[in-house]
């Protein structure tokens, strides 16, 4: 691979950025599987490595890049994210510190961290979300992921709330308006073909949903918004030197604390005991939630999966040659929502 082959017209800009960092041309380039929309590459040099992320035009439309960079830098200052080494003036690409996943002892079992990603998401019963349920005995290996996730969640909670503040209701309206615009402009997979109904029928289902009861439940337990990454899936976390780091701050903003927990619970394979412990420890004495917040966690999970449905439809835009993969994700997320 070469810079030209992976970055195209941006290759010259990437090379100039490397020169500003006093780095030569990379000795090797390796495509990474990180992310579902942006493209990421490991650039190797004689004594160091960097991650090059090429931002997708699709996510450009749904992400405030200035906010993304500000949130990333806040997290890196706290030691919760890789160091951002270079930001393109037009935010078309970033260069960041390369972190090799590594851990010792029990922790080595969880390298790479993405192995904890839920491959087949399933509905969680109310009982499985109850922090007051008896916590059974578990091995140190079983507890380790929950302990690391709690440390990360608490660390992010302490960061200053981003200037970009988005309530759960506002985010839902943003998604619906954007999808309606895509429909009006014919900017979706299969538009003007006999496949158009597949996208439009899924949009119609989202538009007909009534979420007022869920939003009311979540509003009732909210005292204040906080720094929220909002995409803490196992694919966006790295275990480096026995410490979790997060990447991809595209959806980060000031928002509902319970949504942050819901995303972690939804996207990680944890034992029942570890999950209940994590819920209890995160919610116990939370400064921005009421004592009744545990009862609202099921509603937060519903909203998380609904956002995931909306995301999948947005990814299946007019540039998408085949929307079937995104439609499959949509349908998988949909069956997780309580009707």
DSSP calls for 195-228: THHHHHHHHHHHHT---HHHHHHHHHTBS--EEE
Q: What is the pLDDT at residue 133? A: 53
Which domains does the chain possess?
3-56+83-97 (no CATH), 105-334 (3.90.1200.10)
Model pLDDT for residues 267-312, shown as the tens digit of each residue = 999 999 999 999 999 999 999 999 999 999 999 999 999 999 999 9
Q: Does residue 132 register a pLDDT over 60? A: no
Is residue 278 within 8 A of residue 267, CB to CB? The reply is: no
Dist. CA 199–CA 324, nearest whole Å: 10
Does a cis peptide bond (omega within 30 degrees of 0) precede residue 325?
A: no
The pLDDT of residue 135 is above 60: no
- Taking residues 162-188, what's their average pLDDT? 97
Q: pLDDT by residue (tens digit) across 231-278? A: 999 999 999 999 999 999 999 999 999 999 999 999 999 999 999 999
For residues 182 and 322, which has the higher predicted lDDT (pLDDT)? 182
Helical H runs in the chain? 3-7, 11-20, 57-60, 65-77, 140-157, 168-184, 196-207, 212-220, 257-267, 272-283, 297-315, 324-334
Q: Which one is predicted more confidently, 270 or 140? A: 270
| pLDDT in the model for residue 36 | 62
- Percent of the chain at pLDDT above 70? 95
The residues near 285 (Cβ < 8 Å, ≥ 6 apart) are none
Residue 55 DSSP one-character state:
P
How far CA 183 is from CA of 91, 173, 318, in Å, comes to 27, 15, 10
- The proportion of the chain whose per-residue pLDDT surpasses 90, expressed as a percent, equals 83
Distances (CA, A) of 224 to 71, 214, 253, 258: 18, 18, 13, 11
pLDDT > 90? residue 28: yes
pLDDT at 29 over 80: yes
Q: Which of 73-77, 114-118, 217-221 has the lowest mean pLDDT?
A: 114-118
Output 57 or 151, whichever has higher pLDDT. 151
Residue bearing tokens 């119609």: 204
In angstroms, the CA 265 to CA 118 distance is 10
DSSP 8-state assignment for residue 236: G
């Amino acid at each position: 691979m070469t810079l030209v082959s992976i970055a195209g017209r941006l290759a010259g800009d990437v090379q100039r950025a490397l020169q500003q960092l006093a780095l030569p041309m990379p000795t090797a380039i390796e495509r990474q599987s990180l992310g579902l929309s942006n493209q990421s590459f490991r650039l190797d040099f004689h004594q160091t490595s960097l991650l090059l992320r090429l931002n997708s035009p699709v996510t450009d439309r749904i992400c405030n890049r200035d906010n993304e960079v500000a949130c990333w830098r806040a997290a890196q200052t706290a030691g919760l994210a890789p160091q951002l080494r270079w930001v393109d003036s037009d935010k078309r690409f970033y260069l960041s510190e390369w972190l090799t996943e590594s851990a010792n002892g029990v922790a080595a079992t969880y390298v790479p961290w993405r192995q904890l990603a839920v491959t087949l998401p399933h509905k969680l019963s109310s009982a499985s979300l109850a922090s007051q349920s008896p916590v059974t005995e578990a091995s140190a290996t079983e507890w380790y992921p929950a302990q690391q996730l709690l440390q990360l969640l608490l660390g992010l909670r302490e960061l200053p709330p981003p200037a970009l503040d988005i309530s759960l209701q506002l985010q839902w309206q943003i998604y619906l308006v954007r999808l309606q615009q895509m429909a009006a402009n014919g900017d979706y997979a299969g538009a003007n073909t006999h496949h158009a109904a597949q996208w439009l029928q899924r949009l119609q289902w989202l538009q007909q949903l009534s979420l007022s009861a869920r939003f009311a439940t979540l509003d009732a337990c909210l005292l204040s918004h906080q720094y929220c990454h909002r995409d803490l899936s196992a694919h966006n976390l790295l275990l480096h030197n026995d410490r979790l780091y997060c990447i991809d701050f595209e959806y980060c903003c000031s928002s509902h604390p319970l949504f942050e927990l819901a995303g972690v619970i939804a996207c990680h394979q944890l034992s029942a005991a570890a999950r209940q412990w994590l819920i209890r420890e995160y919610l116990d004495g939370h400064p921005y939630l009421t004592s009744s917040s545990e009862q609202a966690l099921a509603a937060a999970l519903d909203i998380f999966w609904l956002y995931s449905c909306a995301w999948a439809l947005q990814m299946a835009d007019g540039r998408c040659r085949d929307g079937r993969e995104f439609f499959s994700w949509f349908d998988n997320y949909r069956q997780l929502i309580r009707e």
